[in-house]
Structure 1
Amino acid sequence: MSESLDTGLHWRHATAAGQPVLRTMVVCDLADSTALVERLGDRRAAALLRKHDRLTRALIDEHNGREIDKTDGYLLLFERPTQAVSFALAYQRGLRFMSEAEEVEVHARVGIHVGDVVMWENSPEDISRGAKPVEVEGLAKPVAARLAALARPQQILLSGVAASIARRGHEEIAEDCPEAEWRSHGLYRIRGVAEATEVFEVGEPGIADFTIPAQRSVARRILPWWRRPSTISGASLLIALIIGTSIWAIVRQPPTIDFSARDWVVVAATQNQTGQDNYDNTITAAIRMSLRQSRFVNVISAQQVAQTLKRMKKDASAPLDRKTGVEVALRDNASALIVPRLANNGHELVLSAEIVDSNTNKIVKTISTKIQSQSEIVPAIDDLTRSLRASLGESMAQIKSTSIPLAKVTTSNLDALRAYSLADQAAGRGDLNLSVDLLNHAISLDPKFASAYAAQASNYFATGNMTQARREIDKAMKFKQHLTPLELLKLKAMALTARSSRTAATAAWKMIADLYPDNAAGANNVGLNYAAELNDCDSALPYLQHAANLPQPLQPVSLYILASCQLALGHEDQAIQNFKRSYAEGFRGRFLALADAYVATRQYTKASTFLTNVPSDIDTIVSLSTRRALLVADQGDLSSAENNIRHALQTIPKPIYNSYGWSLRLEYIGILWAQGKEQDALDQTRHGLKQLLSIPVDKRDDNPYDFPVLVALFSRWAARLGDVQLAKQSIKIINTDKGLRGFPIRAQLVTVTQAEIALKEGDPEKAVRIATGADTHPLWELLEVIARAKAAAGDPGAAAAYKRVIAQRPLAFGELFENELGICTRAIQWNFAVLDYAKVLSKTDPSAASRQASIFLDYWRIAPSDLQAVITAKKLMQWSSSENLKSSRSLSDRP
């Protein structure tokens, strides 16, 4: 992005100093972008959005702005409000012209605010891992965002201070837009700003209609009493209203906080003034768990609070006090902070809670209850949370219908509750071993603690120990009467995930997502299941987008899966941005799909830089070795790819070899095959299948990869490499109605294997019938075998089938099943498909075949000249230019 030298130096100086500087923040938000994609379709929408991005970035440069972040819209920084206003006017004008040219309405909302911000530049290492080059923090950012949210499509809204400064430079703005007009929309109460703010609009006649902004929860208009809709003229009615209002004030207190249904709250650490540390964490955790029963109040989880504190560069392990709690609430868009307190009062205890308005930092209500003995603490928490819910505006009918006593849905044992709370915190830090130990302790104190069993099952799910996860689920089910309705639904969904079909599990998580839209577990799991288990990223996308926007600790994971889906669907730019956001939010480990996105778009240098900065350890070694092989294999350097995989197989620890090592072994087979080393590849396949099938039946579910999927993939190679009998014997073990019904990925891979068997047996027509029968949400592997089978059968649709395979390069790199299993081999096969397409074209259009072969050689420019695929491509180019080219000439001499 171009900048003036002075501007760039000034920004860098501010960064180095780390001091607040006055800047203008601009938030541009595309209106109804999801509906736009649905209306236009993925490809046309992607093209339109790319044009939008080019327009926006050109205008940013023109007006000396700086891009800070981008999702559906942009977060921008300008030195002066006049620059920001000139940009916004030009942006809305550009969108109007683009809408007319594309014959589709594209609108945006723009918010502008001036204020102090703190800026710093991330290190090159952090940037290579996905962080933004420049970070900006300050109240100006959320205020600009809330003005954008308040705006209607095509509106540009400014805070009073931004408008005041910009209007002084109106002559400068008039140079770019002489027709610009200003309107005041009056005073608004903007969330996060203590004082009322005057909101202005600037726009061009014919583009902006200067309509009063719509009422939003982020900002509410302040009207004088005589303009309010409730005002009624007439003396008698006025008197009646006064009398009625007086009676109403007696029987019910007016609202004391701007809190709406499904707004969020943060629960601070309990101010324990009793001197007994066994109450630390316990009271806070219990209040949080009790409040979660509400369908009116949403609670920010402890794990999410910890993540927010880390982003604020604060100690996440320190107790959350009121001052920091308000900051966390503002960052996570929570309307209120609950501050519990436990104190001695003679021979009794007093449990109280303050409701703090996070926007004004004022206590709006304090609720308290007395406790005579320790046995009354848990019932007192029930009473307290019911009062909290009522004070936040929840009706008594709602409270009664969703208020099961804590002792019934958790435990009455405070020590067990404390262990459970600490286990939850340990799991949030990724310390699953400690979490397991703490939950075991909680269960030993209360053997009927169903929530603890359910949490233990989640831990075992995370480690891939499905056998133990099932045992914990069964234990939790014995005491299911001690679970809330939501927890019971989650447990049933987990049980289906562990024992039933993928379609049944997806339906269970979808019900949770639809019934409890603010609970991230439903949206996360239904999105993951659609993407990774059903290969249906179109259906996954809205759930993942919703989960990625919820204040929840797994937001980085949601972003990662969302990005993988976007990559599979061909939205590569969005995928790269969301992969970076995921890493910037702290997502780490073996999940390195940003490299896949870079390789898919042939940004090999960026992929190499990213992988160079990934530490090689026990968590990353398999994925890192695979991506290093992918990087060179997609360019034709198969020898280096083989060396990468072989070295990893020889050096990884035995426990990793016997678990995640299956991925490397499959890649090794594919790379050997691609180089014509078919006997070596077959030997590896036979050895792998022998080891797989020797795993005891009761241990097959404890592998991180799905056992039937592994058998199908190895069997596919057995068939393709010539051992049809082994392929048939192996596939028979998993080709059962129980094993495949409701498991679309398994079923498709079995179909691919059956098609490979038919091809090897010389019956391509049968292979076509088998493969095309499964063409619903197809894996890339299925598309590839359909094309090969049609070509072998002389089917006139072979060319179209290969065009489809080649067009689905994003799917080859974005498939999520079994954590991108087989991605390196898919990249190699995709390049071979480019060459195979040239062979098909050579029979009818030699010139087109020559061009296609040339494309293949360009893609594989670093491939050795003696590689059979390269030799074949060069022959195709030579033969196509020869006058004696014969259509019957065989070109089947490639691996």
Structure 2
Amino acid sequence: MDTAVQTFDPTPEPTPRPSDNAPQLRTLLLTDLVDSTGLIERLGDTPASDLFRAHDRLVLQLQQQWRGRLIDRSDGMLLLFERPIDGLGFALDYSRGLIQLGNERDIDLRARVGLHVGEVLTWRNSPEAVSVGAKPLEVEGLAKPMAARLMAMARPGQILLSAVAEPLAHRAARELGERGQHLAWKSWGRWRFKGVPEAQQVFEVGEPGIAPLRAPSNTPKAWRDIPLWRRPAALAAEAALLAGGALGLWFITRPEPAIAFNQRDWVVVGDLRNLTGQSTLDDSLAQAFRISLEQSRYVNVLSDLKARDTLGRMQRAPGTVLDRAIASEIAIRDGARAVILPTVAEVGGRVRVSAEVIDPHTQTTVYSESADGNGAASTLDSIDDVTAALREKLGEALASIEKDSVPLPQVATKNLDALRAYALGQKAYAHAQFREALGFYQRATALDPQFALAWLGQTRVQASAVNAEAAIDPLHTARSLRAHLAPREALYLDAWDAEIEAPAQALAKWKELASLYPDYWPAQANVATHFMAQNRFREALPFAQRSTSSKNELAALGYDTIGRANLGLEDYRGARGAFGQAVARGVGSSLRRAAATEAAQRNFPRAAQLLDGAPKDDLYPHFDKIAVALDKGEWDAARAHARSAMALAGKEQGSFPARLFQLPAAVSDWLSGDGEKALQGARLTVDQALQALAQPVDANAADDAALGLMAAIFAQRLGDGDSADRMLKTLDSKPGLLAVPVVGELSRVARAEMLSAANRPTEAITLLEPLLTGSEQYQARVALFGAYAAAGKDRLAMEQSQWLQRHRGLAYVELGCAQCQQALNVVDGNLSVLRMAELLKSAGQLDESRQQLARFDHLWPPQSLPGYLRVRRESVLSPASN
């Protein structure tokens, strides 16, 4: 999938208008990149230019998405939009995009943004003026300095709107999708702008956790309009007069208990109870109540469509009445702060409109409001009176409701306790605490045996823990409960079905789900993971970045994926920053990735320090411990780590994790000089992979195939071609496995190695060169290096050696056969230096050969080398033969 931003003209021709000079109503967006000059000084010219190119790509992409027109730019930008919601959508995505760019470079990157709607005059400059540097289009009018004042007073990361822009954008916020329902809208009162006679109302909108949501600062051109009686001197005098009476007044008129609403908290409005007997009033009164309450600046009202969607996930009939109990459960599931139940009744000949404010966790009434009127015609006025009173009291204090107002996962189950257990499982899974997550998912299915997504959670956690055999039964249970899933969740089930039982089709399934539901974060994350498994790191990054949305409960894992993709691209700074974000969010397994990042740069002390922080009972950091020890030439330490790993993995004899660690153990034996034991380990790995593939069901079939091929490739180096022959014959009868990209590629590498061993290197080169797509496996390059050398193509062989030495990040992070090849990759990277010295000597470049040999000696001191490598080293030092 090509994820590059399409090139387009950022200033397309406007739609023809009757008069190009007539004032036009437009939305103006002004931005200013905070401390852009300081960024250049801190980063340096080249990294800063890379940053600004990435910034420009972001802006072009967002212009296209939100139909914006770029008018001017320097440290900031001026853009025009047809509608305020388009300008707001651009601003929100721009703010999030800047944070992501900053995180990738370990810097704080934010912008100030001002949004205003007003009339502007536009005119085109002549071609001659444009050719000497003028802008193609000029924009002027009072709206422009208004937007500039808003932008200048904004805090870093803040989006400020004028009183004209705010209601237009607020009304259309639903067009932003689910994100629009969770925006925070705040009023910062009236402000005076220099050159503008009237005070202006200023608003802020932003995403919690991203926007500052704090009052703007006074500037020389914009300051808060404070009435005389609220200025400091007047307040001091007033305070002295009022203090004495305040205490007594409090005892006389204690406030009613109320809910401690934060501005723009969410509420659920239950169905209106009409007790008048006039059923024709039902729909009109309910709609009037909702519309009136939506005018509040203190709360957002959960839309009726959203409430009905949640009702579906509760597996209730579409027409279920939203009474006290049902509306309270909806509030708990969606993280709303309270429920409001309206009632219309006839009391003593008068029509009474009342509303109860309910704590959803206890379903108790916190307080109520009512208003009476004469006849049905009075109900609309009474509704306005009740909602006005509610809007005043929703800001009073009651902290008890605030504790649990976090949305629960939006999944289908009728059991609220099962949903809570599932939510805890999601939280544990986000921190890569797979054992705890499995326990919570199992608790959820015990409470609700028909909770299909909790069964699927068990499949996911078992697969993540490299225990795919145990993932099959819960997958089959989830499949049998498909009818209980919402359409999106059913597609999620299909993707996991492919993941376990048809791996060649899995990426297509995840991409389909990600395309249909762009805000469904698991799909984005799994597309990224599949691209990464195929070494398509650049394609993986956009999907991984989307999965770090603040609304994704598993966002922390997205940062780990970003780090792994950056490491595969040799972007060590980006990898370090992303892994730091993941660790800070509780993903302990990212410590080993961070260690690999340091080891790839040969910062071994820091790598060891990070690996020491990994849990002692965690099996998979041993991959990195073995690889780092081999990288340093510490063969005994590598073998000790391999024995520890085998002891941990061997708790289940013949398990897939036990099979995985046999290959790095064999590589450690080889570097220690025990070639016979290394060959035994490689053959045993091939035998066990073939045994697993012969079973009726092998949940790890793709990984077993890749593992067996990698072990066979290693065995060929040790003189055993039979293992590769057996693996390839078995896979020829399994076309579904050969369709898995990694398996198909490694099978070609194994065939090429067999051809090279049979003195047919030219045929091996023909087989390998088409694999060089930019996402090839590291061992494909190793095999091509050997084939070029055997064919006498020394220059091409040397190019491969240089490539292997430059791509140490890939050597460490490549997933391949579930990372079983990491140790071999790292070793081959170092050995390529010795092979380069050998090639240079054979080409008569003796000085260059000695330089390469000195590099090799720095990597692995001569006294530590096993006998067969010591012989090769000494042959480079021996005089050239005539």
Instruction: Provide the TM-score with structure 2 as the length reference.
Output: 0.59
RMSD: 5.5
Distance in 1 between the 2:502 and 2:560 partners?
A: 26
Where does residue 137 of structure 1 map in the other structure? Answer: none
Is 1:263 matched up with 2:258? no
Q: How does 1:381-780 map to 2 (within 5 A)?
A: 414=414, 416=415, 418-430=417-429, 431-442=436-447, 444=449, 446=450, 450-451=452-453, 453-464=455-466, 466=468, 469-470=471-472, 472-477=474-479, 480-502=482-504, 504-532=505-533, 534-589=534-589, 592-617=592-617, 620=618, 622-650=619-647, 653-655=650-652, 658-695=655-692, 697-698=694-695, 701-703=698-700, 706-736=703-733, 738-776=735-773, 777-780=775-778
Shift, 1:604, TM fit: 0.9
Where does residue 394 of structure 2 map in the other structure? Answer: none
Does structure 1 conserve the Cα–Cα contact (< 8 Å) formed by 2:671 and 2:866?
no
TM-superposition CA deviations, 1:481-532 (whole Å, max 9, x none): 5433312222222222222243x22122112222221111121011101111
816-825 vs 513-522, greater mean Cα deviation? 816-825
Distance in 2 between the 1:359 and 1:587 partners?
A: 42
Shift, 1:697, TM fit: 3.9
Distance in 2 between the 1:219 and 1:357 partners?
A: 25
SS in 1 for 2:299: strand
SS in 2 for 1:858: helix
Where does residue 223 of structure 2 map in the other structure? Answer: none
Does structure 2 conserve the Cα–Cα contact (< 8 Å) formed by 1:257 and 1:357?
no
Where does residue 221 of structure 1 map in the other structure? Answer: 161
Q: Measured at CA, do residues 510 and 200 of structure 1 come closer, stay the same or move farther in structure 2, by a change above 3 Å?
A: same
Distance in 1 between the 2:176 and 2:293 partners?
A: 13
Distance in 2 between the 1:819 and 1:602 partners?
A: 23
* Structure 1, gaps ≥5 residues long: 1-33, 40-83, 110-141, 160-182, 190-196, 202-212, 231-252, 268-297, 305-320, 328-334, 392-408, 888-895
Q: Measured at CA, do residues 499 and 254 of structure 1 come closer, stay the same or move farther in structure 2, by a change above 3 Å?
A: closer
Shift, 1:775, TM fit: 3.6
Does structure 2 conserve the Cα–Cα contact (< 8 Å) formed by 1:520 and 1:552?
yes
Does structure 2 conserve the Cα–Cα contact (< 8 Å) formed by 1:530 and 1:540?
yes
Shift, 1:224, TM fit: 6.4
SS in 2 for 1:221: strand
Distance in 2 between the 1:540 and 1:616 partners?
A: 31
Amino acid at match of 2:779: E
SS in 2 for 1:337: strand
Amino acid at match of 1:484: A
Shift, 1:746, TM fit: 0.8
Does structure 1 conserve the Cα–Cα contact (< 8 Å) formed by 2:728 and 2:747?
yes
SS in 2 for 1:263: helix
Count of paired positions: 614
Does structure 1 conserve the Cα–Cα contact (< 8 Å) formed by 2:689 and 2:705?
no
Distance in 1 between the 2:706 and 2:437 partners?
A: 27
Shift, 1:666, TM fit: 0.5
Distance in 2 between the 1:367 and 1:793 partners?
A: 70
- Structure showing greater radius of gyration is 2
Q: Measured at CA, do residues 701 and 354 of structure 1 come closer, stay the same or move farther in structure 2, by a change above 3 Å?
A: farther
Does structure 2 conserve the Cα–Cα contact (< 8 Å) formed by 1:186 and 1:221?
no
Where does residue 298 of structure 2 map in the other structure? Answer: 362
Q: Measured at CA, do residues 600 and 467 of structure 1 come closer, stay the same or move farther in structure 2, by a change above 3 Å?
A: closer
TM-superposition CA deviations, 1:691-738 (whole Å, max 9, x none): 443448447634598221122122223322222223312332223352
Is 1:200 matched up with 2:198? no
Does structure 2 conserve the Cα–Cα contact (< 8 Å) formed by 1:410 and 1:482?
no
Amino acid at match of 2:872: T
Where does residue 77 of structure 1 map in the other structure? Answer: none
Distance in 1 between the 2:826 and 2:291 partners?
A: 56
Distance in 2 between the 1:609 and 1:572 partners?
A: 18
Where does residue 817 of structure 1 map in the other structure? Answer: 816
Does structure 2 conserve the Cα–Cα contact (< 8 Å) formed by 1:611 and 1:624?
yes
Amino acid at match of 1:600: A
Where does residue 193 of structure 2 map in the other structure? Answer: none
Distance in 1 between the 2:452 and 2:207 partners?
A: 21
Distance in 1 between the 2:585 and 2:761 partners?
A: 49
TM-superposition CA deviations, 1:207-253 (whole Å, max 9, x none): xxxxxx9xx9962431569xx999xxxxxxxxxxxxxxxxxxxxxx9
Where does residue 859 of structure 1 map in the other structure? Answer: 859
Q: Measured at CA, do residues 857 and 423 of structure 1 come closer, stay the same or move farther in structure 2, by a change above 3 Å?
A: same
Distance in 1 between the 2:575 and 2:292 partners?
A: 39
Does structure 2 conserve the Cα–Cα contact (< 8 Å) formed by 1:556 and 1:587?
yes
TM-superposition CA deviations, 1:85-125 (whole Å, max 9, x none): 9x65454689997699999968699xxxxxxxxxxxxxxxx
Shift, 1:667, TM fit: 0.6
Distance in 1 between the 2:834 and 2:416 partners?
A: 63
Distance in 1 between the 2:170 and 2:855 partners?
A: 72
Shift, 1:769, TM fit: 3.0
Distance in 1 between the 2:591 and 2:292 partners?
A: 40
Query: In percent, how many aligned pairs have the same letter?
Result: 19
Amino acid at match of 1:706: D
Q: How does 1:85-164 map to 2 (within 5 A)?
A: 88-91=36-39, 157=112
864-873 vs 491-500, greater mean Cα deviation? 864-873
TM-superposition CA deviations, 1:829-888 (whole Å, max 9, x none): 110011111111112222221111111112224862665435533552x34xx5xx336x
Where does residue 804 of structure 1 map in the other structure? Answer: 803
Q: How does 1:367-378 map to 2 (within 5 A)?
A: none
Shift, 1:587, TM fit: 0.6
Q: Measured at CA, do residues 299 and 470 of structure 1 come closer, stay the same or move farther in structure 2, by a change above 3 Å?
A: farther
Instruction: Provide the TM-score with structure 1 as the length reference.
Output: 0.58
Amino acid at match of 2:763: K
Does structure 1 conserve the Cα–Cα contact (< 8 Å) formed by 2:563 and 2:575?
yes
Distance in 2 between the 1:677 and 1:452 partners?
A: 48
Q: Measured at CA, do residues 837 and 341 of structure 1 come closer, stay the same or move farther in structure 2, by a change above 3 Å?
A: farther
Q: Measured at CA, do residues 322 and 601 of structure 1 come closer, stay the same or move farther in structure 2, by a change above 3 Å?
A: farther
SS in 2 for 1:548: coil
Does structure 2 conserve the Cα–Cα contact (< 8 Å) formed by 1:537 and 1:569?
yes
Distance in 1 between the 2:701 and 2:594 partners?
A: 22
Does structure 2 conserve the Cα–Cα contact (< 8 Å) formed by 1:787 and 1:805?
no
Distance in 2 between the 1:806 and 1:92 partners?
A: 31
TM-superposition CA deviations, 1:560-603 (whole Å, max 9, x none): 12211111111111111111111111112487121111110111
Amino acid at match of 1:792: A
Distance in 1 between the 2:266 and 2:605 partners?
A: 47
SS in 2 for 1:538: helix
Q: Measured at CA, do residues 428 and 815 of structure 1 come closer, stay the same or move farther in structure 2, by a change above 3 Å?
A: same
Does structure 2 conserve the Cα–Cα contact (< 8 Å) formed by 1:791 and 1:798?
yes
Shift, 1:147, TM fit: 13
